[in-house]
Structure 1
Amino acid sequence: MVNVYVVRHGKTMFNTIGRAQGWSDTPLTAFGELGVKELGVGFGAKNIRFDRAYSSDSGRTIQTMSYVLKYSENEDIPYKMDKRLREWCFGSLDGGFDGELFDGVLPRTDAYKGKTFEELTYQDIANGILEVDTAGWAEPWEVLRKRILDGFFDAAKKAEETGAENIIIVSHGMTIATFIKLIDSHQPKFLGLDNGSVTRLTYFNGNFMIHEVGDMSYRELGREILDAE
């Protein structure tokens, strides 16, 4: 059995000013760096030794991983970047303000018509983005769905094959939330996972089991330790 710790990257410049980041990228802010340092210290205090590490190929996840591995004393482990673990692509709306995208443009699409927020699915959101993307960059739902599932399942399967006990995956808010919903349809839509939060799962023989989603206790423990120094 493999313990899988899925981390949302630290807080970035675009996160701070409320822009939809998608496949565009901005670095962690000073506050974001502190947050993932806290996370690394929290992992270290729990004596969690990672065997393998995975992240998307976006700068913000790479930067997050470097902090987490350093401060949890897990630097010398195999680390792979995988573009399948990227955030959703918002197409020509990448970099726009969240409010303009999620509250302004998307609710006017055919994909959203006649549906309350509670009724909307991730597929509806993807269809809405595809409808308004003038650049042709956004991913159709089946492409998005497949690459997210393949990215997480392949990482876990490889870890199991190599006898890894604990792995860490640093990814993105909507990608993590979509993955959770895809493997357990009874889970709610998580559109507000905190930066530096941990979603813990186990993987065994081709199946994931969800234990916690968006857990902030590792960061909180790290903060207590750093504040006491």
Structure 2
Amino acid sequence: MRRLPARLSLLALFFVTDAMSADPTADIEIYIARHGRTMLNASDRVQGWSDAVLTPQGQRQAISLGRGLAKQGILFNAAYSSDSGRALQTARLLLAHNGQAQLPVRTDWRFREFNFGSYETLANQTLWQDIADQHKMSLAQWLTKVTPKDFADTVAILDQARQQARADTWPAENYAAIQQRLHSGMEQLISHTRQQGGGKVLLVSHGLSINALLDLLLPGQTVATTRLENASITRLRLHNGQYQLLDINDLRYLKAGQLPADTSLPADSIAPPTSKEATQ
């Protein structure tokens, strides 16, 4: 029998040991954070695949969230983020102030916000009114009935007509396309986490996409219309193949680590991180 070189033998042993440590039944707890407040949030503009940096308030939110999680002794085995700068900036600030600055963040485009096509960066009021008009409702009526599916599908229909006159953006996604990418992203997140034996995972994403994810993982539950605040935590547990909702729009960690409004921000918190991250 041919012997492997010592170096390759050790490498093979590492992979065998890692595979043996994987537990397909291990519980996984996912802490899903909405990113901190951005400049487009502050100006009340549509922000999907377009991006804006965190405002000073948004940076404080991310730092406060990290501090609050640290106070509760919450440490993560893995961290994931949308590849949008606002989400990655939130993730890195959170981890830096949770005592886990060296934990790599795996960025994944599949956890992005909805894509709004030609409506990106326009006033939210313009988008909302167009959707209400499409449904022949007043804006006030529509706001009481809107769901993530209706929202995405109506924008996709409206954007098709707008793209004919101005086809210079990615077209808006319908709800099926959004849920397909979220499902794919979540399947890979769970697979990687199980290979590491389960445990707590951080995922930083976006308001509507988090709601769509809840709609996907918790079918039939009326949780997908909750307005999620910046730097809120929505917590899921995967147990015996079933997802359980533990918390939604939870602000207790943010409040527990709250920075005073006049606290000076670290110099390196202003720009989004530029360190090499694991990507999909």
TM-score by shorter chain over 0.5 = yes
Retained in 2: the 8 A contact 1:173–1:191? no
Counterpart CA distance in 2 for 1:17 and 1:168 is 28
Three-state SS of the structure 2 residue aligned to 1:200 is strand
The alignment status of 1:20 with 2:46, answered yes or no, reads: yes
Question: Which protein is bigger by CA-based radius of gyration?
Answer: 2
For 2:177, the aligned partner's letter is V
Match of 2:200 among 160, 166, 173: 166
What is the percent sequence identity of the aligned residues? 31
Structure 1 position 178, deviation (Å): 1.3
Q: Deviations over 1:104-130 (max 9, x none)?
A: 111122xx3578555443222222111
Alignment of 1:136-175 (within 5 A): 137-175=171-209
Structure 1 position 173, deviation (Å): 0.4
Match of 2:83 among 48, 51, 57: 57
Retained in 2: the 8 A contact 1:174–1:191? no
Structure 1 position 23, deviation (Å): 0.4
CA 1:4–1:189 in structure 2 vs 1: closer, same or farther (change >3 Å)? Answer: closer
Structure 1 position 17, deviation (Å): 1.2
Three-state SS of the structure 2 residue aligned to 1:223 is coil
Computed over aligned residues only, the root mean square deviation of the Cα atoms, in angstroms, reads: 2.2
Corresponding residue for residue 199 of structure 1:
234
CA 1:203–1:212 in structure 2 vs 1: closer, same or farther (change >3 Å)? Answer: same
Structure 1 position 163, deviation (Å): 0.8
Counterpart CA distance in 2 for 1:20 and 1:204 is 36
For 1:171, the aligned partner's letter is S
Three-state SS of the structure 1 residue aligned to 2:228 is coil
The alignment status of 1:107 with 2:132, answered yes or no, reads: yes
Unaligned runs of 5+ in 1: none
Counterpart CA distance in 1 for 2:260 and 2:46 is 33
Question: What is the TM-score normalised by the length of structure 2?
Answer: 0.75
Question: What is the TM-score normalised by the length of structure 1?
Answer: 0.90
Q: Deviations over 1:196-223 (max 9, x none)?
A: 0000111134432111001000010001
More displaced 10-residue stretch of structure 1: 144-153 or 115-124? 115-124
